[in-house]
Structure 1
Amino acid sequence: MCRQDGSAKDVSRLLANAPSNWGRWGDQDEVGSLNFLTNAEVLRGVRSVRQGKVFTCGEIIGDPRGDPLWPGRAPARRETTIDKQSYVRGDMPSLPGGAEFTDDRIEMFLQGSTQFDALGHVWYDDQLWNGYPASDTNGGMKKASILPIAQRGIVGRGVLLDMAAHKGKKHLEKGDLLTLEDLLACAARQGVEIEKHDILCLRTGFLQLLHVQGAERFYENFVEPGLTYSAELVDWFHEREIPCLSTDTISNETELDPAIGVQIPLHCALMRNLGIAFNEICNFEELVEDCHADGQWDFLYAAAPLKVSEATGAPVNVLAIK
């Protein structure tokens, strides 16, 4: 996701006076703002379950129509290792009693589908979340990896904002920007309040254009739509104590902030400094259709990425239960 273009040196100046949660939960913390999701917050999320509807918000891994990926990442490769032909050829004997089975394996980028970032995924000034040294990423993440997040799980009250509909579009397009004012206006229009400790979910519809436009057009001059940096936006996330930002884009923010010329400033300000968990590449299409139909925009959000040791991220299938 990061591009070495010399802009990183500007992040320190940009965020010199930005809020930080370092040390808030001790000098060994590795889950950051997920600490806000206490037992009481889980129960608050449960109170959002009023209809018993269940939605899964993960993209298909190995989708024959194409996987939404950051340019340069290879799609997942699934390979069948044992099937009926294995027995016909004599490669595999039937099990005692006559039963047979099939098996397969997969090779993929851990951030090559719907996934959570580890808090140490992005850094500047040679320090990860909570002040851990960037050298802790060498050969595998020794601190602030995905494993502590995976072991903890993420459960609370989720709120979905349909940012595309708010902008009068079916899908946001390349370069469309979202501000704090957009978030608040969209919530007001939908009649939902973003409360303290809510898991904020943003639907742009952008990644679905891959299947509409085809890969060549979709990835040409690739610039994702999304949130754009402002000090007011960062302060709002800090004051609201948002534990997790979940979107249906690859970066959870616009690819290169045009106003400041810095790439992924919100990864730095929200994830690295505030410890906010980033859940990316979700598919909210079925959920958003239902929310428009019944007017309920809050739900129980539940997710647990795969428990991968020393990893910088891991796949997840998010559940939204209304």
Structure 2
Amino acid sequence: MGDTGIRTGKAPKSEWGPDDEHGATNRITPESRASIMARIDGHRVYDLSVDYFVGMPSFQAAGDPAYQIWMSHTPRGTVVDNLNGVGDQINRACGYSGDVILMYTHTGTHIDALNHFAYGRETYNGFDADAHLGSRSWERAGSEQILPLIARGILIDIAAHKGVEVLAPSYGITAEDLEECLAAQGTVIRPGDIVLVRTGRMQYWPDGSRVFGDSPGLTVEAAAWITDHKVVAVGADNEAVERTPSFDDENWLPGHCHFLIDHGVPQMECVFLEDLSRDKVYEFAFIGAPIRLRGATGSPIRPLAFPLAE
């Protein structure tokens, strides 16, 4: 692979100032939010997320925990153990259920925070692991710093444009692919947009053996082409947005570094784009926000796409 332009030394400083933690989500303004909200056709909504369940595909190869859920309180159990302390008579009259979940934050449809990747010890905007990483989480640029995503969304349906069910394993989507697909769709990327790229992989969900591994996705050159358009965020229907493996001997996920560290662009993975593709909805209002997990490197997100009124 040729020169990717990826640095391995220091993270660049943010264009929004030395203390900025929001990154490209700063491009969302009250005016831009109002503009896209005014164009919504509320008769339809597309849910771009997957549900969470025991046995769902997850990134367990690196030792991260799979999604788990269990009951901490049950109607019959509280009668027996009275863990809520209200007594037998009340517990028999008022059943009580409660549960607990455990999972890796990069599970299912999720968004990567700007502290997810680093050059050495420096992540977005030069935040340093020695100064800003505590015992349990980062002190800077966590998922709680990603501003609510309300913006114009664009689908770039590469698989459909190429006339295939799904792109070939490890296919590297080029800038030329993006340009040709957009031209064929009759859509353009504007500053402040959220760009979603379809490879076709998520049509196989929840078969993890077909969704994950040797993923088609963006090359670094294509990633740079997208960030040149001053987008707010990027997402794809694969495991990494970029292609895997990277075919870069010096960086196993250079696209992550480009989006998150160099440009402060949060990226969403395992986004469900099949319904948008089926209906050929290429422009829409995108609304979504991560759970505000302080300091976390990622978070589940439930993105919604609303078609625009004619």
When normalised by structure 1's length, the TM-score is 0.82
Cα distance, 1:85 vs. partner? 4.0
**Cα distance in 1 between the residues matched to 2:250 and 2:14:** 30
Identify the residue that residue 67 of structure 1 maps to in structure 2.
57
Return the alpha-carbon distance in structure 1 between the equivalents of residues 304 and 205 of structure 2. 23
Corresponding residue for residue 283 of structure 1: 272
Q: Deviations over 1:114-150 (max 9, x none)?
A: 111110110114311111113323421011111111x
Q: Residue 240 of structure 1 aligns to a residue in which SS?
A: coil
Structure 1: give runs of 5+ residues left out of the alignment: 1-9
In the superposition, relative to structure 1, how do residues 215 and 37 fare at CA in structure 2: closer, same or farther (>3 Å)? closer
1:45 aligns with 2:45: no
Instruction: Look up the match of 1:300.
Output: 285
Structure 1 residues 218 and 202, CA, compared in 2 at 3 Å: closer, same or farther? closer
The reply to whether residue 128 of structure 1 matches residue 123 of structure 2 is yes
Distance 1:95 1:167, change over 3 A: farther
Letter in 2 for 1:185: E
2:93 is paired with a residue of what secondary structure? coil
Picking from 282, 299, 304, the partner of 1:314 is 299
Q: Equivalents in 2 of 1:281, 1:251: separation in Å? A: 8
Gaps of 5+ in 2: 83-87
Q: 1:186 to 1:51 in 2, by over 3 A?
A: farther
Match of 2:85 in 1: none
Matched, 1:248 2:233: no
Alignment check: 8 A CA contact 1:45 1:158 kept = no
Give, as a single letter, the amino acid of the residue that structure 2 aligns with 1:311: A
Q: Which of 247, 253, 260 does residue 271 from structure 1 map onto?
A: 260
The answer as to whether partners of 2:75 and 2:91 remain within 8 angstroms in 1 is: no
Aligned residue among 100, 103, 121 for 1:105 = 100
Task: Select 1:223's aligned residue among 206, 209, 214.
Answer: 214
Indicate the residue corresponding to 1:5 in structure 2: none
Distance 1:265 1:118 in 2: 16
State the TM-score, normalized to the length of structure 2: 0.85
1:83 aligned partner: 74
How far apart, in 1, do the equivalents of 2:128 and 2:227 lie?
23
